[in-house]
Amino acid sequence: MLTRKQRELLVFINRRIESDGVSPSFDEMKEALNLKSKSGIHRLITALEERQFIRRLPHRARALEILRLPEDLNPAPARGAQPMAKGFAPNVIAGNFPVRSPEPEPPEEAAVPQTPAAAGASGIELPLFGRIAAGTPIEALRDPNVTISVPPSMLGGGDHYALEIDGDSMIEAGIFDGDTVIIKQCDTAENGAIVVALVDGQEATLKRLRRKGDSIALEPANVTHKIQIYGPDRVKVQGRLVGLLRSY
């Protein structure tokens, strides 16, 4: 069963996706439901996701997918909702991925969240380079002996590797503690891309890259975390985010 606020938010998100092709922002949701803070929206979104009514699509701004609506739900629009219209269909690939030994787990480009369902022998083995902080920089852990299987459709040209997320600084981009991100190796990235950045030659962090004059800003996707600003000689791009795996 859904609470009144959960039902209201579900209808609002569904109508906005149908009319605009994208889900509403957290600020729009907060205003539509007359809530005082976005933390209440976070809780409602999490509750709807746990009940399998919605799914968050990482690496895309404002990316939510409606999985189902309750049969008894009266789809009366929440305040600010728009008339329904055909919108886009998110590109989501279902898969079953061998877990990191002994278990595994956004620009925004081809966001392809994967869940344990059916990949197996057809997957490509990528090295899993330990845990990277999505909250504060930590030294990158590299263990080439540990691998994870990834569907070929997630990968383009070039070399790739996987990293486990440790922290919550990218939750508003749909990247959570325990997720495994797929990184394409590169030494440069467009402004606004989510990248693995090496700070001072020894600490790695996953953040959104912003160039501001002669400085480089590494932006979190969590209002409780601060933007980190460095000189250009202190930050080197180690790769760009192209996919995400998650165990439920």
pLDDT for 114 beyond 80: no
Distance separating alpha carbons of residues 126 and 154, to the nearest angstrom: 12
Distance separating alpha carbons of residues 234 and 197, to the nearest angstrom: 10
Q: Alpha-carbon torsion 118, 120, 126, 129, what sign?
A: positive
Q: What is the pLDDT of residues 36-47, one digit of tens each?
A: 877 778 788 888
Write down the pLDDT at residue 77.
45
pTM above 0.85, yes or no: no
Q: Same domain, yes or no, for 31 and 120? A: no
Q: Same domain, yes or no, for 57 and 150? A: no
Residue type, 216: I
Is 95 inside a domain boundary?
no
Distance separating alpha carbons of residues 42 and 50, to the nearest angstrom: 12
Looking at the structure of the chain, the number of domains it has is 2
Residue 152, CA distances (Å) to 21, 81, 126, 237 in order: 27, 39, 11, 24
Is 92 inside a domain boundary?
no
Domain coverage including residue 21: 4-66
Q: Provide the pLDDT confidence category of residue 90 given band limits of 50, 70 and 90.
A: very low
Is 73 inside a domain boundary?
no
Distance separating alpha carbons of residues 223 and 168, to the nearest angstrom: 11
Residue 81: alpha-carbon gap to chain centroid = 25
pLDDT for 140 beyond 80: no
**Category of 92 on φ-ψ map: left (φ > 0), alpha (ψ -120 to 50) or beta:** beta
Classify 66 as helix, strand or coil.
strand
Distance separating alpha carbons of residues 111 and 243, to the nearest angstrom: 6
Which residue carries 């090496």 as its tokens? 198
Lowest-confidence segment of 11-20, 68-77, 176-185, 194-203 by average pLDDT = 68-77
Is 34 inside a domain boundary?
yes
Question: Residue 68 CB: number of other CB atoms within 10 A?
Answer: 11
Q: Which of 23, 30, 169, 184 is catalytic?
A: 169
Q: Same domain, yes or no, for 156 and 221? A: yes
Is 78 inside a domain boundary?
no
Q: Same domain, yes or no, for 121 and 230? A: yes
Distance separating alpha carbons of residues 11 and 100, to the nearest angstrom: 37
Residue type, 43: R
Q: Same domain, yes or no, for 138 and 217? A: yes
Q: Same domain, yes or no, for 50 and 133? A: no
End of a domain among 42, 66, 90? Answer: 66
Q: Same domain, yes or no, for 16 and 135? A: no
Lowest-confidence segment of 5-9, 92-96, 144-148 by average pLDDT = 92-96
Rg of the chain, C-alpha, whole Å: 19
Look up 101 and say whether it is catalytic: no
Structure tokens at 239: 């790769």
Share of the chain above pLDDT 70, in %: 71
Is 163 inside a domain boundary?
yes
Classify 46 as helix, strand or coil.
helix
Is 175 inside a domain boundary?
yes
Q: What is the pLDDT of residues 55-74, one digit of tens each?
A: 877 655 567 888 888 876 64
Q: What is the CATH number of the domain that holds 237?
A: 2.10.109.10
Look up 226 and say whether it is catalytic: no
Q: Same domain, yes or no, for 168 and 236? A: yes
Distance separating alpha carbons of residues 78 and 49, to the nearest angstrom: 19
Q: Same domain, yes or no, for 151 and 232? A: yes
pLDDT for 195 beyond 90: yes
Q: What is the CATH number of the domain that holds 43?
A: 1.10.10.10
Q: Same domain, yes or no, for 239 and 125? A: yes
Q: What is the DSSP string of 69-117?
A: --TT---PPPTT--------------B--PPSTT----------EE-BS
Q: Same domain, yes or no, for 157 and 218? A: yes
Is 100 inside a domain boundary?
no
Mean pLDDT (the chain) is: 75
Q: What is the pLDDT of residues 125-137, one digit of tens each?
A: 888 877 776 665 5
Q: Which of 207, 215, 226, 247 is catalytic?
A: 207
- Is the model more confident about 177 or about 217? 217
Q: Same domain, yes or no, for 238 and 141? A: yes
Helices assigned H by DSSP within 22-71? 26-32, 38-50
